[in-house]
Structure 1
């Protein structure tokens, strides 16, 4: 077996060496520990035998001196020396015994004594020294170490682990990825030509630093990537490092903080030092929106340490070694959607804003994701990619890939090929969650109410087109309905839902926002139409929450109903709040009454469709409009 010294010398890790030393020390103490007794420099004999004091009466003539040390303490000491012996005797007695001894032995036998002075005690420190206490403490320490040796070792191991793996404790765990180990390329960014152009410009800037120096531009080309989650910011950082043939170090902004003061700053410095050692390198800081928030928000001065450290590192002020380091920092928000620190924003020469893909790009993305599967897994002849791209509006590339992967899971489970229907169900599962019929199977009253409620939403959605006199085919073309369901959704706690396609355009007019409110009010209005004002259920809670938020935005934030265009939410005084509340209530009353009045025209159709919906649980868009055409055809012929 190799000796400890050989094992110790062969181990290079400082923490492992420390653990070995502690282990050997604990084992040594646990196996054999001895009471720790101070060495006696003088011939002092310690005792607690009271009989030695009673013997003084018979040996009074032999006494050279008798002293009392600490007579007022809990344990006074009798210190005496015989003329014919070199030892100094110290007898420790309890204070209660001392009183009796002093009266019955010393005074009764006229034995002379004095109080020990400081000079004597300083010259004979052993007089007050308590070897039994030392021995007891040694026994306790040794026993504690022996009993807890394993626990102490685990504690040491945990501390070493914390120093290695917690940000700000023993450095950063961010690893360096060489360019040859990075996967993918810029070609994997489907569409997004505007973003690709920005990246190409960035590559040109980095590759031609001398040209930019001739224009007196010598700052580091720090890059800010902003945009919704799942749009490819993380992948682009890897693509850029691979294209430039330089290493990449990736860390998470939210993962920098360790809970220790200065932990985030220390982790950033460790990452920067690691990047400097590479020469040319990209540091990619993901999910860093918290670092962009204005500083000085908290009362504690160390709250902004991490952001302040990042500001300095972005400037490259640490040393010339960082001249080849490029910071790429990603955030899910930009300065238009949240307030950002101005000093931080100025540090970035390049800002690339990612966006959600448009319909053509979604179609191409879905096609790419499906093409990566084996040919026999997809029924290309029964696949309408235009329809799938239309219903998946406002989904990021990452969510689109999730939908395609979910379609594969459904296809494998059901032993079928991937078709339009399978992709639709995958989209529904990804956006809504798991649905079931068992929850409401025996609740006929609840299912009837849910059917009426959901149909109310649908008819208020198509009401503007019906009022224009359009045919059902024309209304169908305009409607974004996908399906109406009375299946329960555990994810949102709903007993039914109307699934509709979204719009790519995010700008909304006042008229469109009011129509959104009316559509949301459609459910509760249908309940009131069939059950009366006192028959409205709690199922409208989520709809009313959305209406309140919309009306707050329309009235208070956008001032859509006021000639003075002000953001009333910024006016904090009480009068403004009361006036805003009155405006919101008045507009809510107006729009709900308009909804209730419009709903009356569809009462008969809702009643018939509700019966069919209860039987089938689900009605697709095609089925809904086929039923509407069938129900209204006799009326048209009669007319």
Structure 2
């Protein structure tokens, strides 16, 4: 099938261009020879004197022939010849005058005339020319007549050379003096800094590495979650090397036209080569790492194939100083990637989320940039804020600090621990609203019971171990329980807990997570019966199902044969195992939560009145309940 991309590719070949040139010249010569008709040598007398026409009736006997050339044009020509006169008379008249002359002179006097045929005009080209028609004037007239055709040809040639609109890529060229920041802005991340410094040494001392037979292009692959500093690191590297940075989005390479992504990559490479030493930074380029050959159409892999060639540096030494830095939010450990593409990157730097100490230093750095008096350092517990902001990237942490500043301005108070906590809540959960559920007492009661069910199943293991409430409070990640609606989550309430930095969880911990998720629906069944549970537990059940599938099918945690059952087609037996384990864990949840019926019923009323209960408030109420129970037991 013919495509514009195939035509562009063919026109890049010298042989094709030479063949087109020869063909064009041949056609021009052929047309020129065909147009070379012998001309009448008779002298021509040109005039615009209409009297020559009005006098023809008196010369009827001497008139040999009378022709009208181009009668429909703006300037028809009357061509006549007299007997015994070798001259050819050409009278040029205006188009409006021609109509009157034809009616009043020719037709009224019955003068014989005819319309000049094409073969006559071909042998009498001079008839249609004026006395003052120079070569330049004729060329100008030709241009005017064919202006639209010429513009269309020029546009077609331009599109063939430069591509259709949208086929280019928006790339930003930044010189070292335009790049801000430094490596010191990367708080913590010492392992990543060392990798970058090693890369810098490799680039600066290429001759030394050549002695060790390391002469490949230093292509760099940056992977890791969004907001961890991959883009900034590329800028820092360019600034340290004192070379320009060309930044483009890998997801914006494709233009919708065949070959658009490939053309954009070549354009980036040419732009970088023109600057000698340069870094090309492709951000959000995870789509280029996907395995090739998945699509049915051959051209779908053109962009990836082009990048492979450019990364190899096989196009001579012209791009020797070009360093490709490609960033992706996924890595080869979590996503299947093209093996050939991965081999092209001699340096791979994997970014991670900051740990607790790094989060504390990041928060301190962001807050220290504010003017004096904006932060109450004496009433700011950064360790506590760093603890509740687990699994947040530096970019999100900066958003939390910015949100704290907004709240500080709106409420006219300095930034402290409480304000940072509310900023974290606003940045991660979104806006909360009491008006949505203020008049829905029964729904708020259900929501309160549901959220308290989650909380009690969270602390249930520690209470059954016999730990004191103070010890349970210290271990509990709870931050607050709320019956305010959250539009972002589509929920009428929520339990906000601090996350854990450690992602490696055991079977026992996973089962506790499932039981905690079941706590909400179990509390509803405890108070309203099996037929009184609501759809509010949909999200909890979806998460629990996913975790059970991981435990039973993918990790075979309940079987001695450690295989991934999800890779097999027959899922009926596996579904039965998941259902059986779900029934076991939910039955335990329902039994366990019955032991806290009185506490839940009492806390429900307080939660409905106050809408929100903090961790301190909840454990204070539990302490009061425990003291009353002990006093009643003594009586």
- Tell me which interval the TM-score lies in, with the shorter structure as reference length: 0.7 to 0.9
Structure 2 residue aligned with 1:624 = 618
CA contact (8 A) 2:67 2:115 kept: no
Runs of 4+ in 1 over 6 A off after TM superposition: 41-47, 121-126
Is 1:498 aligned with 2:495?
Answer: yes
User: RMSD in angstroms over aligned alpha carbons?
Assistant: 2.5
Structure 2 residue aligned with 1:370 = 367
Q: Give 2:586's match in structure 1, choosing from 556, 569, 592.
A: 592
1:377 alignment partner, SS class: coil
CA contact (8 A) 2:166 2:255 kept: yes
1:426 alignment partner, SS class: helix
Is 1:304 aligned with 2:301?
Answer: yes
2:626 alignment partner, SS class: helix
Q: Give 1:235's match in structure 2, choosing from 200, 216, 232.
A: 232
Q: How does 1:270-285 map to 2 (within 5 A)?
A: 270-285=267-282
Q: Distance in 1 between matches of 2:421 and 2:182?
A: 30
Structure 2 residue aligned with 1:344 = 341
How far residue 176 of structure 1 moved from its aligned partner, in angstroms, is: 1.8
1:33-69 alpha-carbon deviations (Å, 9 max, x no partner):
xxxxxxxx9769999xxxxxxxxxxxxxxxxxxxxxx
Q: Distance in 1 between matches of 2:112 and 2:548?
A: 102
Is 1:254 aligned with 2:247?
Answer: no
Is 1:607 aligned with 2:595?
Answer: no
1:326 alignment partner, SS class: strand
Q: Distance in 1 between matches of 2:457 and 2:493?
A: 17
Structure 1 residue aligned with 2:205 = 208
1:275 alignment partner, SS class: helix
Q: Give 2:183's match in structure 1, choosing from 177, 181, 186.
A: 186
Q: How does 1:205-604 map to 2 (within 5 A)?
A: 205-572=202-569, 576-604=570-598
How far residue 85 of structure 1 moved from its aligned partner, in angstroms, is: 8.2
CA contact (8 A) 1:221 1:350 kept: yes
Q: Distance in 2 between matches of 1:164 and 1:125?
A: 44
How many residue pairs match? The answer is: 498
Q: Distance in 1 between matches of 2:630 and 2:222?
A: 58
How far residue 122 of structure 1 moved from its aligned partner, in angstroms, is: 11
CA contact (8 A) 1:268 1:310 kept: yes
CA contact (8 A) 2:511 2:585 kept: yes
CA contact (8 A) 1:264 1:305 kept: yes
Q: Distance in 1 between matches of 2:398 and 2:164?
A: 32
1:438 alignment partner, SS class: coil
Q: Distance in 2 between matches of 1:43 and 1:450?
A: 98
2:390 alignment partner, SS class: coil
CA contact (8 A) 2:437 2:492 kept: yes
1:615 alignment partner, SS class: helix
Q: How does 1:5-16 map to 2 (within 5 A)?
A: none
1:338-358 alpha-carbon deviations (Å, 9 max, x no partner):
000000000000000000000
CA contact (8 A) 1:481 1:621 kept: yes
CA contact (8 A) 1:168 1:264 kept: yes
CA contact (8 A) 1:238 1:248 kept: yes
1:270-312 alpha-carbon deviations (Å, 9 max, x no partner):
0000000111100111000000000011111111111111000
Q: Distance in 1 between matches of 2:325 and 2:338?
A: 17
Mind listing any 5+ residue stretches in structure 1 that lack a counterpart?
1-40, 48-83, 91-120, 127-148
1:587 alignment partner, SS class: helix
Structure 1 residue aligned with 2:8 = none
Q: How does 1:107-118 map to 2 (within 5 A)?
A: none
How far residue 167 of structure 1 moved from its aligned partner, in angstroms, is: 5.1
Mind listing any 5+ residue stretches in structure 2 that lack a counterpart?
1-65, 73-109, 123-147
TM-score, normalization by structure 2: 0.75
1:505 alignment partner, SS class: coil
Q: Distance in 1 between matches of 2:213 and 2:452?
A: 66
Q: Distance in 1 between matches of 2:453 and 2:121?
A: 97
CA contact (8 A) 2:400 2:427 kept: yes
How far residue 531 of structure 1 moved from its aligned partner, in angstroms, is: 0.2
1:10-37 alpha-carbon deviations (Å, 9 max, x no partner):
xxxxxxxxxxxxxxxxxxxxxxxxxxxx
CA contact (8 A) 1:167 1:267 kept: no
Q: Distance in 2 between matches of 1:372 and 1:360?
A: 19
CA contact (8 A) 1:440 1:446 kept: yes
How far residue 319 of structure 1 moved from its aligned partner, in angstroms, is: 2.7
